[in-house]
A and B are shown apart, each in its own frame.
Chain A
Amino acid sequence: MIDAGIDIIRKPGLAYQEAFDWLAVRLHAMDGPVACSVAADWQLAEMARRLPRVPTLHSEAAGRELFHALGLPEPEISPGLLGAIALVEPAKFPPASFERLKPGGRLFVVAGGRLARFLAERRGRAATSPMSERALVGVARDAGFRVVERLGIHPPAAVLHHYAGEAALALGRRDWRDRCHCAMRRDFVTVGPLVSWSALVCLTLEYAG
């Protein structure tokens, strides 16, 4: 357990695990320097354990203790323009670090969808509420970004599979419950019209510059 209150063996819910994996894959595939900006200590831990060399541009997180607990050196921000920035649940847009993005650079954003209020991590959250996907996309377009990718994580289909599984368990059919759980995982990420109705939305935004 570290001072920042983060226990390194704890995990966030499946939706956030999937979202942070998505960010890691996207940032890993970029050439050149990248950075991230997160809103909470536990989110910094999620980024640090995935991409320990990616620096954090803006965070209220207690980074030093966290990196020590994870056995990692704290990364330093390199000067110059960035090819991409990951933003996790930003409270405003464009972010303060926006001017570091080079023309044609990308923002990889995790924002809340319409089912975000059901996420355990969102309950009892502090005063700064993150922007919704809808609000964020509107402001981003005005700021010169275009949306090039949009994914929904934990969409309604996955929710239905989950409740079907609970119903099966109530009927004494744990085997059906397990199958429903597998179906839930299969349908855990969506593209298309139900993206907005997911718990989390992953956006790739390209800056026209």
Chain B
Amino acid sequence: MSDAQRVANLDAWLETMRGPDGYGGPVVHWWQNCLSYTGAGLDWRYEGIISGYLTLWRRTGQAAWMDKARRAGDDLLRGQLPSGNYRHSNFELNPYSGGTPHEAAADLGLLRLASALRQAGYNDWEPYAQAAENNLRRYYLERLWDGEVRAFRDSPDVPSLVPNKACTLVEALFAWAELRDTDEPVERYALPTLRAVVALQVKTPRRLAGAIPQNTIREAVVDAYFPYYIARCIPALLQAGEWTDDVRWLDAATAAGEFIVRHMGEDGLLPQALYGRGQRGNLNRFPQWIAPLGDVLRALEQLRPYGFNPDTSVMRSALQAGALPSGGFVTARGFAAQINQRFSPVAPPDFRDLLPVAGWSDKAFAWLAKRVPEGESLPPPQTADVALNCIAHGRPAQWRETAEEMTLSAGGRTLYHWRKGESWARVVAPEVMTR
């Protein structure tokens, strides 16, 4: 299957995930799951969806893709609250507002949309820019900026820094500065925040060199290192390098890239998290992300012009192999091993591995869209229903997905049932009530 075919199928699948308020569906994640609420999530899925559609519009020249990017932007405009926050922006923690980095990622999508519309001569780009600015000013600058530390907090109440989230916000600040032709968002907020991030980057031991810890709380560094999240720091560091011509930002980005490549397995997958500052350290390998690898590949490819050119062909293949007949992408491998970290390659996958999530598959979509040949149209989608054996709560089960619904059943019982387009699942059995 060609990447253009994968993109066409993903587009068709994303259409099945739309409800009245935007792109919905269940979410599985390392931290928590959100299986009950299935309505629109105005979160980081909008970064990948808008970016992907804008890429398709540029590569194919077809206005239909711009229309879809604009429709996604309209979802965010309609879902913006009087506070400037977005409704249900917490992804795996939904249905709540104020999600980080999710609102910043949605802002980034809006700012890219506004910029693309303006460059193409459309005169209706301003509302998208204003919605993003409203969120950035009223939530991030007014509530999360810590003037003493000169970085953004993850919570208004707790001194904290989460580097990957801060870096997504920094990307939005750069996009804001570019759109409005002003230095302030970058000089006053983005660069100081990135200095705080780079100050945390590990130099030794070699096992962790280049890694960036997941977060700090009350100035204490949490010594957990998630390769996927470290990849999400790279684009902001590169933008700082371009802005300042200071090679130290590029060095930090390259070191992060080297860390990721060093921990890439022969199968192209990354461990979920590394821990500890010692030479040996510890590891929670599973679940290993698949659809999210789009973000990792995007980050590593952005390093190429700076001389960092690792072989990512195996990672690319791992992502491409994740395409489901429905058009969505499998989320991960090894959710069943999340607790004991004992993975069986011959056992059926956990249903959470197979469950395609709009806010993970968007990462695959955004990356794959860049591989569509310039000037070519996408082929017609070729999608089909999914019916796969799996494991749910340690027991054999069946996962089914059609254009209309997602169902998990075991032993004649329905454990989970979502009618696509609805804001709540119809059935969530106690076995899968695992927030």
Contacts and interface: CB of A to CB of B under 8 A. Distances in A.
B98 A21 contact: no
Interface residues of A, number: 34
Contact of A175 (B83, B273, B427, B434): B273
Contacts of A17: 93, 435
A43 to B, nearest CB: 15
B433 A174 contact: no
A188 B434 CA distance: 7
Interface stretch (B8-16, B240-248, B296-304, B417-425): B417-425
Contacts of B339: 179, 182-183, 186
Contacts of A28: 422-426
B82 A68 contact: yes
A9 interface: yes
Task: Give the secondary structure class of B's interface.
Answer: loop
Given A8-B97, A49-B96, A185 B273 contact: no
B81 A70 contact: yes
Interface in B53-92: 79-83, 85, 87-88, 90
B95 A50 contact: yes
Interface string A154-169: 0000000000000000
A69 B82 CA distance: 6
B97 to A, nearest CB: 5
Task: Give the secondary structure class of A's interface.
Answer: helix
A25 B79 CA distance: 22
A117 interface: no
B410 interface: no
B283 A186 contact: no
Given A28-B426, A178-B273, A182-B338, A49 B81 contact: no
A174 B275 contact: yes
Contacts of B83: 8-9, 69
Nearest to A179: B339
A173 B276 CA distance: 8
A172 interface: yes
8 contacts: A9-B98, A11-B90, A17-B435, A24-B424, A25-B428, A28-B424, A49-B88, A178-B224
Kindly list the 10 A-B residue pairs having the minimum CB-CB distance in the complex, ordered from nearest: A9-B98, A28-B424, A21-B36, A175-B282, A189-B433, A175-B275, A71-B81, A189-B430, A174-B275, A182-B338
Interface of A: 8-9, 11, 14, 17-18, 21-22, 24-25, 28-29, 49-51, 68-71, 151, 172-175, 178-179, 182-183, 185-186, 188-191
Given A179-B339, A188-B433, 10 more contacts: A8-B81, A11-B90, A14-B435, A25-B428, A28-B422, A71-B79, A172-B276, A182-B339, A185-B435, A186-B393
Interface of B: 32-33, 36-37, 79-83, 85, 87-88, 90, 93, 95-98, 156, 222-224, 273, 275-276, 282-284, 338-341, 393, 422-428, 430, 433-435
